[in-house]
Amino acid sequence: MHHKQVKYILWALLALPLTACEDEFIGRDPVYSIDSENYFNTPSDYEKALIGAYDLLQPTYLNVMLGEIASDNTLAGGESATDVIGIQQVDDMIHTPVNDQLDNIWDWMFAGVNRASYILEFQDKIDFPGKEQILAEARFLRAYYNFELVKWFGPIPLKTDARFSLGDETTIPRAPVSEVYAAIEADLLAAIPDLAVTAPQVGRAPRAAAQALLGKAYLYQEEYAAAAEVLQAVINAGNYSLPEDYDGIFEQSGENGPGSIFEVQYTDAEGAGFGCLQCSEGNVAVGFNGIRNYAGPVFDGGFSFNVPTQEAYEAYEPGDARREVAILDIEDWAQQTGATYGTGYEHTGYFNRKYLARKGDSNIGDQNLTNPNNYRAIRYADVLLMAAEALNAIGQDELAREYLNRVRRRAFGDTDHDISASGDALRDFILRERRLELLGEGHRFFDLVRTGRAADAIEGFQTGKHELFPVPFQEIQFSNGNWVQNPGY
């Protein structure tokens, strides 16, 4: 089977329906159309429910795009200063609790948590071979969604191995960040032994995905020794590598390759519409990133959001092959190819090339919403850099440099650009390298925040406020005073 066919939808015609209404927290979701108490009777019921839990990865396109725009890497762009006002406000750090995009991230990630918890709520109903793998994937997914929620919103409600239900918002507190991380760690530690080293199907989580996410959770809490241990377990297992051709890993031919530990699978096999962006089986961000009014080879057009800044372009050293992969210089490209394009709002001349619409997909429905570019959620290079950061923090600079320089040798194609620094200087190089390696992939804002560097890098960032995003206004209202808004909002 061609790997594109193993997208979630196609294991999944029978998946739990994701309706346009599934867009509010707790209980105001329509209850599943399946009689949930009487549902889990066969192995295939568990498989279908698991597909339903994976399905909410596809809407994380918004987390990736908005996280990049919140950082110093890109500007909002679009057509005008009012084009998707919620995105513009996050870019300018003037967002409020009334913001459709932040509302979507909250709702869609909680829908993912709820779907994973649905499986775990009924984990003991029947026994069958392979159940442990399914439960482990459900725990991984719940940890993934909760990690997104804690990064964006800080304290969040938790409910162990049960779905949220109507009324919970007035009684369940927002758990402190430390408790949220403890829940994430517990899910991942339970999942790791039962996850297959090689996932049973392309797109499902292998063991290393849970180990890498656990290492990242430790890193975010500055638990460096624990992070180093679990990240080194991924590296030392030897199941992943850095493909020499950095460019190739972001093309369709490079999907689910040896440098990719976990990818969100997308397909162009179905149409989609603006009425239910979370229903799209395509990568919606790719059309949003696209070149406005583009006519020319290789790429397809789009809405010109998420445009890299001049400063981000200039952050790369001469000879670093990653710059031309991460950032398309449209004037240079037009001169080379005769392509024509329009300029949108905040036009910088640069586009987010890793996740830019390519020619050759089926363009069913609204072609801007159905691009098949997978999101490389956890890359081996990211694991190497996280391990380097953790090792440097516990005084193991020699190995930290080795991991950092593996990433740099691919970027430059030589050893002449190896870093020989130690201590705090080495930490600075590692953090800079994260930006250069991962530009366009949605990590930068959260890296700046967790290292205390956001206020210096992001215009308008207020310390003590903008480390977190506001809980959606209506969630605070629904909670009847149970939940207090994040500081500064």
Average pLDDT over residues 468-478: 97
How far is the C-alpha of 318 from the C-alpha of 291, rounded, in Å? 26
How far is the C-alpha of 423 from the C-alpha of 466, rounded, in Å? 29
pLDDT in tens, 333-342: 999 999 999 9
Q: Which residues contact 127 (CB under 8 A, 6 or more apart)?
A: none
pLDDT of residue 361: 84
Domains of the chain: 41-195+459-478 (1.25.40.890), 274-373 (no CATH)
Q: Which of 212-221, 272-281, 377-386 has the lowest mean pLDDT?
A: 272-281
pLDDT of residue 23: 39
pLDDT class of 2 with cuts at 50, 70, 90:
very low
pLDDT of residue 269: 87
* pTM value > 0.85: yes
Bridge partners (DSSP) of residue 157 are 174
Output the six-digit token pair for 427: 């930490």
Average pLDDT over residues 438-463: 98
pLDDT of residue 360: 87
Q: Counting every residue, how long is the chain?
A: 489
pLDDT of residue 35: 52
Note the helical H segments in 154-277. 168-171, 177-191, 207-220, 224-237
pLDDT of residue 3: 38
pLDDT above 90 covers a percentage of the chain that reads 87
Q: Is the pLDDT of residue 1 over 80?
A: no
> 321, 327 in Cβ contact below 8 A?
no
pLDDT of residue 364: 80
Q: Is 74 exposed, middle or buried (0-12, 13-18, 19+ CB in 10 A)?
A: buried
pLDDT class of 253 with cuts at 50, 70, 90:
very high
pLDDT class of 32 with cuts at 50, 70, 90:
very low
Average pLDDT over residues 75-85: 98
Q: Is the pLDDT of residue 6 over 90?
A: no
pLDDT of residue 34: 46
Q: Is the pLDDT of residue 121 over 60?
A: yes
pLDDT in tens, 419-445: 999 999 999 999 999 999 999 999 999
Average pLDDT over residues 182-200: 98
Note the helical H segments in 327-453. 330-337, 380-393, 397-412, 423-438, 444-450
Q: Is the pLDDT of residue 10 over 70?
A: no
pLDDT above 70 covers a percentage of the chain that reads 93
pLDDT class of 391 with cuts at 50, 70, 90:
very high
Give the dihedral of Cα atoms 308, 310, 315, 317; nearest 10 deg.
110
> 234, 215 in Cβ contact below 8 A?
yes
Average pLDDT over the chain, rounded to whole?
A: 92
Output the six-digit token pair for 426: 């080495």
Q: Is the pLDDT of residue 18 over 60?
A: no
DSSP notation for 295-327: BSSSB-B---EEEEPHHHHHTSPTT-THHHHHE
Q: Which of 23-27, 126-130, 293-297 has the lowest mean pLDDT?
A: 23-27
Average pLDDT over residues 5-19: 37
pLDDT of residue 30: 42
pLDDT in tens, 264-292: 999 988 889 999 999 999 999 999 999 99
Q: Is the pLDDT of residue 454 over 90?
A: yes
